[in-house]
Each structure stands twice: as C-alpha cells, then as structure tokens.
Amino acid sequence: MVSVSEVAPPQARGHYDGLVRADGRVHRTLFTDSDIFKHEMLKIFGGSWVFLLHEAEIPAVHDFKTITVGRRPVIVSRNEDGSIVALLNRCPHRGSMVCSLERGNAARFQCPYHGWTFLNNGELYGVPYRKGYGPAFDKRKRGLGRFPRLETYRGFVFGSLNPGVEALTEWLGPAREIFDWCIDQENLGPRGVSVVKGMTMVYRGNWKLQNDNNGDMYHAPVTHRSTAEMNLARHGTGKTLDHFKSDNNPMLAKYFGHGHKLLDQRPSIDSPWERARPLPGREVMGDAVVQRLGEAAARAYLDLTGRSGINLVLYPNLMMMGHGTFAVYEPLAVDCTNVRYYTALINDAPPEVNTLRIRFSEDFNNVAARDDNEIFERIQTALEDVPEMPWLDFSKGLDTDRERVGEDGAVTGNISDETGIRGSYAWWKTLMQRDFTPQALGVEADEGRSR
Amino acid sequence: MSENARYLNEARYAALIEGTQRARSRVTPSTFPHRDAAEAVLYLEARLLDDGRYEEWLELLTGDCLYWVPAEAKRGDPRHEACVNFDDRRRLLDRVALLRTGYLHAQTPPSRTSRTIGNVETWEVQGGALEVRSSLTLWMYRQGETTPYAGAQEHELVQVKGAWRIRQKTVRLLNSDAPLGNITFIL
Ligand code: FES
Ligand SMILES: [Fe+2]
C-alpha cells in the first residue's frame, strides 16, 4: 500500500518546520499554496478524526446525509441495526458519485451510470449483467469505501480514514471536560435533541482563517465594533459584546492539545438570557414560558437561548458555540470555505425555547459573523498578493507571564492572547508530518497510487 | 413609527405559515385587484433599497412588520427553521442602525444593488389586505464583483391611514439553502 507521504507534494517533507515557527510566526503559503492545501486534505482531513454530523441528523434507520470530508464526497448512513457508517461517495466501478441528494432515507444506493447497487453499509449488492465479469471479480472488494474508524461521542459522530488514529477520548484529551459541559447544557430531558440546519456561509478564504478566528477574542471589539455600537445605542449596556472591553478580566483562552482550543467567556456572562440581544418574539415567548413553568424553571430554559460564552474548536472542523449551535468548517479550495451552522433543539423543552434558540442562532450570524467573513476575504487577497511580507504573527501571549500550563497539560492564557491558535498550528505541523496508511474498508487495497 | 415588540406571537407565526401555504397553493390566475397600487409600493420599495434609503424604506413598513428570508427551499415554518433573515421591526431597526454605524466592515464599501420586480400578481385576502406575489432579480456589485440573486417575493400590503404599507415581506431566494456569500444589504 502506498503511504500518503509518498504522494505528498515534493516540497512537503521536512518543509513545514520552517513555515510554522516557535516564535508564533506562520507562513502565508499555509493559506495560499494549493499544493499545501491538497496535502492538508490528505494528512489532516484524511489522517485525523473529523467531525461528520450529529446523530440526530439521521435519526431513523436508513436515514442518510451527504457531506464532504476534506473535499471527498461522503455518505453518512444509519444502517438497519441502528449503527452509523461513513462511505466514500464514489463508485468503485468507474467513479461516478453515487448519491447526489443532500439527505434522505434509503436502504440501498444505486450508481446512476451503470447501475451497480450498494447496501447502505457500503457492500456491493448487485451488478447488472454480472456474467461479463470473470472469476477474479471479488464482490467483497468492490464496495463503497467505508471509513475504518467511526465513533459517536454523546451524539457527535466523528470518523477517520486513518485506521491507526488515536482513540477518540485520547484525541479529545482535556478538551473533553468542556465538550461534556456543552453537551450537558442540552441534556435536559430524556429524549435528547433534534438538530436543525442553520445558515451556511461561503467565503473566499482559507479554512484555517475561520478556525483561527473562533479561537480569537482579540478581534472582537474591533471587527465587531458595529455590533457593539449598535447594541449600545439601541438597547443600552449589558448586551452582546459589552462584556469585553479590555483584557483585564477573568475570561480565558485555552489550548488543550490535538489542535483543540477554547475561548471561555463564562466568567463574565452572568445570565445568557439577560445578555442576549432582544430577539423577535422574546417578550411574548419568555412570558409564556414563565407563566407555564414558574420563574425559576423558566429561567433555566431561557438561559439556554443566549450565549453561554463558550467557543470550543475541536480540530480541524467543529466549533461548539455553547448555546446549542455548532459550526462545521468545510474546506472547498485553498481559498474557498463553507461554514455550516446547525442548532440543537431540546426535545423536551417548551416550544418557545426552541424557537428562541433558532432566532438567537440567526442573530450573531446575521449581524456579526459577516464582518468576520469580510476580514477573511481581505486577508486572503493580501496574503496572495504581497509576497514581500510572508509572515502572519500569532505571538500574542508568548514569553509573557500570562500563559501557564495546567496539570492536565492544557495551556491557559488571557482571553485576548493567541494561545489557542498557536497551539493549533503546532498540531497542524504534527499532523502534516505524521506518517500513516489511509484505508477504506470494502475496496481493493493498493492497486496503484492512492492519490 | 413606534416599536412594539409584542406582536410576534403564536397567532402571528400561525398566520404567516398559513399565508405561505395559501400563496403556494394558488393555481388560478390573478384578477389583479389594486394592481397599480401594489406595483407602486413594490417599485418604490425597490428604488429606496437600491438607493440605500433605509430609513425611508422603514416608513413603508408597518409597525408590526416582518421581513423573512427563509434558508430552506421547501418547508416554511420559521418556528422550527433557521432563516437567512427573520426580522421583526425591532431587528430591522437594528439592522439599519448597524449599517449606519460606519463600522460594518462587510458593507465598507457598501453593496450597490439593482433590482427588477416582475410577474406581479395580486389577491385580496381577509381583512382588506392584499397579497402580492412577484419575481425578483437583483444584481449586487461590490469590490469589483457583480453577484446575481434571484427569487420569488411575497408581500402582504395593508392600508394604514389611506396608504398601502408593507406588513410582511418574504423573499425566497433560488439558492436559499445553499452556502450564501455576503448579504448584509437588504434584499
Ligand atoms: S460508474 Fe458506477 S456503475 Fe459504472
Ligand atoms: Fe468574530
């Protein structure tokens, strides 16, 4: 079998040490070089755990959803026995994408070109005019490639094409505690959550710009100044972003290892409900919940309709926003990225609470996230066009007394420090230089180049 | 116009969803009641928005208006769906205030738009309101690039002190459920 490193771009081996430096500088080619991008799709999106979907997105037997994993078209399907598999959406015959629907319910998939049919666990089921194939034709090796590793962690489904990838809990490491906290927030009733699709944005910029940004509080008062000023002028103090005016505060930036990072604004957010911008229907729906449940119980629910103050980035592609909304980064090209938002609805919550959660999820996206996208596009353009200035600087917090290493190995910095982002780039380098043999079950192994 | 935050209640959501279904199930031709008035409002709205005259545009909207841009192509219940926009008057005023801060980077420089409204059909509905269905083609220019947007519009017009006003505006973009770029301007 050909290992991924053999098909990597020639300049890649040992090359990355010079591009991600210990002094916090990162080279512009990480954002602009399409060979590096292709290599990332192999080594990061092909070699690490990658978030696929929440299992509530495919609740019933035979439900499926199509996604991309490092550009590869993938079908995530729930089988007859309730288990979930991730399949490469590429016909083993002559390469057509097999399923073109975004989601649906199907026990089998039929390729639209010559009609090979596959069970939704990936196995080849039927081949038209089968007699035309000789005795060497092995049906068991002509299935849809299946991810060799797939694990569901409390509803969140992760997959990997690297059979030797570390155990999922090891990969989560000390980030697990805060990931649990986010999930516990929604675990109010026994019937769990449903997931609704939120907005999807596309920007002309590298995927890491969004990943960096979700571990960056430094930018908030400047990039989102319009939001802060509008809120202040229209709704007075105490609303979104009003809690961050200087970096002399108890909030934290954190790096957990394995690329995972956190902004923890919880120490400065007393009540998400009080702090939330006035959403459409807030008063009427809030009152209805209070009337039905009483003040205390209602408040517990209503606090789930605003920002809890968590930005947790699980590397490379999942961001938990801590109010039931999560984002998935989907790289399309070195300079093009989708960001897909989803919101978890609490099945046992009063309907008003879920509606307000949806209204809240729209709010930040509509108002503030657009400014982030604008900045990403400006960065992308300037990085591409200014070779005389090759470096980006992520050194904030380095060599100061603001950063400390905890017993669990996590590094904590001030909320405005680039602690987490620097950690992610160190991990990026580790992944890009890690050797492994990619594998997809059910397909002929190693007949030629795996690229 | 005053800011009343309490009109978006269960009944209003229900009316919105019912109106959506009604508009969709129409198969008979329009007899064009109040067509001239409806066209005048829609064209004026298009002109005000293209010219960035948002404050004057807000005057065309009632105190209990809704502006809805679904993010789903088929379904249509904003209680259970995240939307590209779902604004009551208060959030619309926020949006306009945001555009006016001078610090909205996504609108620095601002989008220039040119929109064409066509296929205008009208129906009289309960309470003297007018349901207007039209097609929207919009070109947006910004930073050297021109981006097309197209879709269907549904307006609910009501008479306020003798003048037709917009109580409800829905814009169904063709690509509503696809990844969208910078739409920080008003559709
Ligand atoms: S390419 Fe799929 S059946 Fe031929
Ligand atoms: Fe931001």
Please identify among residues 57-96 of chain B the ones whose CB lies closer than 8 Å to any CB of chain A.
66, 71-72, 78-88, 90-91, 93-95
Helix, strand or coil for residue A21? coil
Do B106 and A371 make contact, defined as CB atoms within 8 angstroms?
yes
Do B81 and A362 make contact, defined as CB atoms within 8 angstroms?
no
A126 C-beta closer than 6 A to ligand 1: no
Inter-axis angle of helices A295-302 and A282-293, nearest 10 = 140
CB atoms inside a 10 Å sphere around CB A404 = 9
Mean pLDDT of chain B, nearest integer: 94
CA distance A114 to A94: 9
User: Ligand 1 test: best mutation among A88, A96, A97, most atoms within 8 Å of CB?
Assistant: A96
A91 C-beta closer than 6 A to ligand 1: yes
User: Testing the interface with B: which of A283, A359, A385 to mutate, by most B Cβ within 10 A?
Assistant: A359
pLDDT in tens, B58-106: 999 999 999 999 998 887 899 999 999 999 999 999 999 999 999 999 9
Do A371 and B82 make contact, defined as CB atoms within 8 angstroms?
no
Q: What is the pLDDT of residue A365?
A: 76
pLDDT in tens, B117-167: 999 999 999 889 999 999 999 999 999 999 999 999 999 999 999 999 999
User: Ligand 1 test: best mutation among A111, A117, A129, most atoms within 8 Å of CB?
Assistant: A111
Backbone angles phi, psi at A449, to 5 degrees: -80, 140
pLDDT in tens, B14-45: 999 999 999 889 999 999 999 999 999 999 99
What chain A holds in terms of domains, given with CATH numbers, is: 50-152 (2.102.10.10), 173-432 (3.90.380.10)
Q: Quote ipTM for the complex.
A: 0.95
Q: What is the mean pLDDT of residues A346-352?
A: 94
Cis peptide before A387 (omega within 30 of 0): no
pLDDT in tens, A82-112: 999 999 999 999 999 999 999 999 999 999 9
Cα–Cα nearest to A86, from A68, A110, A113, A59: A68
Contact, A182 vs A8, CB < 8 A? no
What chain B holds in terms of domains, given with CATH numbers, is: 3-173 (3.10.450.50)
Ligand nearest the Cα of residue A222 is 2
A94 C-beta closer than 6 A to ligand 1: yes
Cβ partners under 8 Å of residue A368, min gap 6: A223, A224, A227, A240, A241
User: Ligand 1 test: best mutation among A97, A116, A133, A144, most atoms within 8 Å of CB?
Assistant: A116
Q: Is the pLDDT of residue A11 over 60?
A: no
Q: What is the pLDDT of residue A339?
A: 96
Do B80 and A196 make contact, defined as CB atoms within 8 angstroms?
yes
Do B105 and A223 make contact, defined as CB atoms within 8 angstroms?
yes
Task: List CB contacts (< 8 A) between A382 and chain B.
Answer: none
pTM: 0.95
Cα–Cα nearest to A396, from A377, A382, A412, A416: A416
Residue A343 sits at the chain B interface (C-beta within 8 Å): yes
User: Testing the interface with B: which of A337, A364, A374, A375 to mutate, by most B Cβ within 10 A?
Assistant: A374
Distance between Cα A216 and ligand 2 center (Å): 8
Distance between Cα A139 and ligand 1 center (Å): 14
Residue with the larger pLDDT of the pair A125 and A250: A125
Do B82 and A338 make contact, defined as CB atoms within 8 angstroms?
no
Pull the structure tokens for residue B97: 């205030």
pLDDT in tens, A262-271: 999 888 888 8
Cis peptide before A316 (omega within 30 of 0): yes
Distance between Cα A147 and ligand 1 center (Å): 20
Q: What is the pLDDT of residue A309?
A: 87
CA distance A245 to A234: 18
Query: Predicted confidence band at A7 (pLDDT cuts at 50, 70, 90)?
Result: very low
Q: What is the mean pLDDT of residues A58-80?
A: 98
Task: List CB contacts (< 8 A) between A202 and chain B.
Answer: 179-181
Q: How far is CA A237 from CA A102, A228, A233, in A?
A: 43, 10, 9
- In this structure, the residue with its CA closest to atom 4 of ligand 1 is A114
Q: Is the pLDDT of residue A444 over 90?
A: no
Do A283 and B5 make contact, defined as CB atoms within 8 angstroms?
yes
DSSP code for A367: I
Contact, A226 vs B103, CB < 8 A? yes
